Amino acid sequence: MSGRVLVSPHPGLPGVQVVELANPGKLNAISIGMWETLREVFAQWHQRDPGLRAVIVRGAGGVFAAGADIDELPGFRFEVDSLQHFHEHIVAPALQALLDCEVPLVAQIDGVCVGGGLEIAACCDIRIAGRTSRFGAPIGRLGFPMAPDELAVLSRVLDPGTAAEILLEGRLLDAATAWQRGIVQRLVDDADVAAEATATARRIAALAPHAARLNKRTMRQIALGRPFDAAWRRDHFSYATHPDHREGVMAFIDKRDPTFSGS
């Protein structure tokens, strides 16, 4: 089974982890094993690592990630049960684990970001791309549509017209178009993508981690159209007694930099 997902602490940023998609010679195409590792890694972080403040998701070798590892496709795509199992029990749970992660995720997008790579990027909170990067999902030329759960993930960042262009035309969008349409929030020179992703993670890590987690929960609630019932609201405002809350307010009053626990 080809490809790996490499997880390591950021060398210059305490509390920041780096998740790197690596499948050399295949534009970091995502194998079944890589999807399974992504699910395991992010499901573990969802269980709350108090020291974790941000995650940078990137690809190895100057490429974010292409779609599925083509060499694996004949092994499961031509039979209904195995095909459905791949999309609904391997890919979808991995993407959901990224979406469920309460820690801010920063996508460092270099080069190609297509298919499954685009789906992974869509799960990240902040997407930073180089000017020569490209975006799309040209799976129509392979003869298959996008799975419903995966299209639902992409619809978080693609408007209906853009989704139609990508899927029905097989169009690849350049970085400038992706930025204009809000697919990425920030566009920088190719040489500056890593530095900007690091700077973004540094800014995130300097703020209160508990507040970031609560903001992500609230944004998720809004995105899913769920109501803020009385129990949810009460739980939300329980941050009143959290030490980071007191530290942030009192540090401002005392005119000093806050020191957040992250717990």
Write out pLDDT tens, residues 201-239: 999 999 999 999 999 999 999 988 899 999 999 999 999
Global pTM reads 0.95
Rounded CA gap, 227 and 248, in Å? 29
* Domain-located, residue 231: yes
Give the CATH number for residue 39. 3.90.226.10
Phi and psi, residue 242, nearest 5° = -70, 140
> Domain range holding 110?
4-205
- Residue 224: what pLDDT? 87
Query: Average pLDDT of 65-74?
Result: 91
Residue 45: predicted pLDDT: 82
Domain boundary among 205, 220, 237: 205
Do residues 192 and 226 share a domain? no
pLDDT tens, residue by residue, 182-206: 999 999 999 999 999 999 999 999 9
Residue 31: which of 128, 97, 145, 115 has the closest Cα? 115
108 shares a domain with 215 = no
Same domain for 201 and 116: yes
Residues 222, 93 share a domain: no
- For residue 150, which of 107, 119, 183 has the smallest C-alpha distance? 119
How high is the pLDDT of residue 262? 66
What confidence tier does 48 reach under pLDDT thresholds 50, 70, 90? low
